[in-house]
């Protein structure tokens, strides 16, 4: 059985349409992951249990997405030494700036690697998790290098009229 090294957590089912972009990248790169709804506010005991057991269960990276008062990534970072990548989910009221500020302004000592707002941030979180794991996994490093080469090759030299 493939060992799961990446946890993708999110504050709500409503975050999944964003966070699935991280999952899709990990699928493309052949990285096993688990997904779970963990809310800092609605399920604090679940958050605590997840953080308390993350390292012992073999997780090496946690991708945490939340919107609004987005305390999930920071609270998770306070509970585990496993690196936490934060994804600010875009909100209707404040366009995700609320999420971004909630995630990025961590106090000294408990970092969260904060991505861009929304789907691009979630996809980049998947790539960042893969890059971290690739440091100790030569096959994954090759797959990630190939992925990056393919992306570069897909960019046209010149713009065209549609």
- Which residues contact ligand RP5 by CB under 6 A? 11-12, 14-15, 39, 66-68, 89
Residue 62 C-beta: closest distance to ligand RP5, Å:
15
Question: Could you give phi then psi for residue 92, rounded to 5 degrees?
Answer: -75, -45
Q: Which is nearer to ligand RP5, 92 or 108 (CB)?
A: 92
Task: Please report how close the Cβ of residue 126 comes to ligand RP5 at its closest, in angstroms.
Answer: 18
What is the nearest approach in angstroms of ligand RP5 to the Cβ of residue 68?
5
The answer to whether the annotation marks 95 as part of a ligand binding site is no
Of 31 and 64, which has the nearer Cβ to ligand RP5? 64
In 11-148, DSSP assigns E strands to 33-37, 61-67, 84-89, 113-114
Phi, psi angles (nearest 5°) of residue 59? -65, 140
Q: According to the annotation, is 42 in a ligand binding site?
A: yes
Q: How far is the CA of 124 from the CAs of 20, 81, 116, 138, in angstroms?
A: 12, 21, 8, 20
Coil, strand, or helix at residue 114? Answer: strand
> Do the annotations mark residue 12 as ligand-binding?
yes
Nearest Cα to 64, choosing from 30, 108, 110, 28? 110
Of 68 and 121, CB closest to ligand RP5: 68
Annotated binding site: 12, 15, 42
Per the annotation, binding residues for substrate are: 12, 15, 42
């Amino acid at each position: 059985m493939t060992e799961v090294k990446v946890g993708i957590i999110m504050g709500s089912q409503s975050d999944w349409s964003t966070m699935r972009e991280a999952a899709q990248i990990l699928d493309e790169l052949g990285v096993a992951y688990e997904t779970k709804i963990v809310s800092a506010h609605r399920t604090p005991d679940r958050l605590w249990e997840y953080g308390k057991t993350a390292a012992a269960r073999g997780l090496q990276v946690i991708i945490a997405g939340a919107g609004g008062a987005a305390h999930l990534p920071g609270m998770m970072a306070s509970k585990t030494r496993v690196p936490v990548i934060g994804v600010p989910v875009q909100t209707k009221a404040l366009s995700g700036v609320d999420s971004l500020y909630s995630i990025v302004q961590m106090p000294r000592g408990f970092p969260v690697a904060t991505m861009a707002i929304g789907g691009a941030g979630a996809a980049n979180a998947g790539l960042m998790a893969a890059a971290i794991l690739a440091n100790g996994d030569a096959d994954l490093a090759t797959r990630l290098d190939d992925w990056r080469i393919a992306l570069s090759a897909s960019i046209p030299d010149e713009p065209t009229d549609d």
